[in-house]
Amino acid sequence: MVRAATLVARTLWGEWQGIVADPVRRLRRRGLTGLSLAFLAAFGVIFFHDLAQRPAGARLVWLVGGVTADLPLWLALLRTPVSLFVPALDLPVWAGITQLFLAFALAELVLGRVRTLAVAYAATLAGTLAVRVMLALGPGWWGLGLPSQVGRVLDTGPSAAVVGLFTYLSVVRRAPVVFALTGGSMVWESVAVPNLAGREHLIAVGLALVLGLLHGRRLPGLPRLRSRAAATGPLPLRARRQDEAAGAGPETSGKVTVSGRGT
């Protein structure tokens, strides 16, 4: 019993340090500029939500960020980055903005802007493409396929990105409680209320889980590719390296090259 309590206490303390204390320390060092991506994401959702309240604005939002599975693939890919900031019409937008800001803020402080955007976009794109695969399978396939009418359902919102970021952070920072509250809740949602959003959330959780496990690891063949690229670099660079390996310095190598070119 004491060991179990000690393990739980250590786990909670580690999560507090990794998910709360460390980001707060980084925020103190960087100031509000460390949350620029989070503010931009929240402002984007508010902007598109306000724009969609008018008929002309709603049409414009659809043209730039509306994604359905029956759209041509190239058009869906073109709209997907914007669709991440177009809130779903049937969900409370202010609750979504709070979750969005928290997810992007923590990820931006811990992972940096580039990785945060990459994980968020990858989670959103994975869900969008997975729906097309499910539609191609059709009804059946042990419940994996989807009927064709689902292709007309509007697929927008930052929820997949938020779920993906929380899952990625929980894996990278070894936070099982956060993972259970985010990834576990998405699994429960997809079972309790089976819908398109639930499926996309599961895809986002799965992708973020894999990306989190691969975080900080080098690909097996990457060092070999780098050494091969260095060995087969541009001809002058290779010649210089060969001269230096043979004992000739850079200046000697340069003189020989000029002399040879003159003759």
Pair (110, 74) in one structural domain? yes
pLDDT at 229 over 50: no
pLDDT at 228 over 70: no
> What is the CB neighbour count within 10 angstroms for residue 142?
6
CATH code for the domain of 16: 1.20.1540.10
Tell me phi and psi for residue 144, to 5 degrees: -80, -35
Pair (133, 194) in one structural domain? yes
Instruction: Tell me what pLDDT residue 223 has.
Output: 53
Pair (163, 235) in one structural domain? no
| CA distances, 27 to each of 103, 104, 109, 234 (Å) | 14, 13, 7, 44
- Rg of the Cα trace of the chain? 25
| pLDDT tens digits along 134-164 | 988 888 767 788 888 888 888 888 889 999 9
Work out how many domains the chain is built from and give that number: 2
Instruction: Tell me what pLDDT residue 230 has.
Output: 52
Q: Buried b / exposed e across 37-62, counting CB within 10 Å, b at 16+?
A: bbeebbebbeebbebbeeeeeeeebb
Residue 63's pLDDT band, with cuts at 50, 70 and 90, is very high
Instruction: Tell me what pLDDT residue 220 has.
Output: 56
* Residue where a domain terminates, one of 195, 213, 231: 213
Per the listing, tokens 């070999």 go with 224
Pair (97, 156) in one structural domain? yes
| pLDDT tens digits along 161-220 | 999 999 999 999 988 888 888 777 777 777 777 778 888 888 999 999 999 998 766 655
Pair (70, 175) in one structural domain? yes
| Full-model pTM | 0.78
Pair (256, 158) in one structural domain? no
| pLDDT tens digits along 79-128 | 999 998 988 766 677 777 888 999 999 999 999 999 999 999 999 999 99
Pair (18, 140) in one structural domain? yes
Coil/strand/helix, residue 52:
coil
Instruction: Tell me what pLDDT residue 6 has.
Output: 82
Over residues 239-254, mean pLDDT: 48
Find all residues with CB under 8 Å of 96, minimum gap 6, and list them.
45, 87, 88, 157, 158, 159, 162
Domain that holds residue 252: 222-262
| CA distances, 57 to each of 44, 68, 97, 229, 235 (Å) | 14, 18, 20, 51, 57
Three-state SS for 145-187 is: CCCHHHHHCCCCCCHHHHHHHHHHHHHHCCCHHHHHHHHHHHH
Give the H or E element holding residue 119: helix 113-137
Query: Of the candidates 172, 166, 167, 173, which has an alpha carbon nearest to the alpha carbon of residue 12?
Result: 173
Pair (197, 235) in one structural domain? no
Query: Of the candidates 12, 203, 160, 178, which has an alpha carbon nearest to the alpha carbon of residue 106?
Result: 178
Pair (80, 206) in one structural domain? yes
In degrees, to the nearest 5, what angle opens at C-alpha 102 toward C-alphas 120 and 125?
15
Instruction: Tell me what pLDDT residue 90 has.
Output: 64
Q: Are 156 and 88 in contact (CB under 8 A)?
A: yes
Pair (24, 60) in one structural domain? yes
Pair (40, 122) in one structural domain? yes
Instruction: Tell me what pLDDT residue 259 has.
Output: 35
Least-confidence region, from 20-29, 31-40, 163-172, 182-191: 182-191
Pair (159, 228) in one structural domain? no
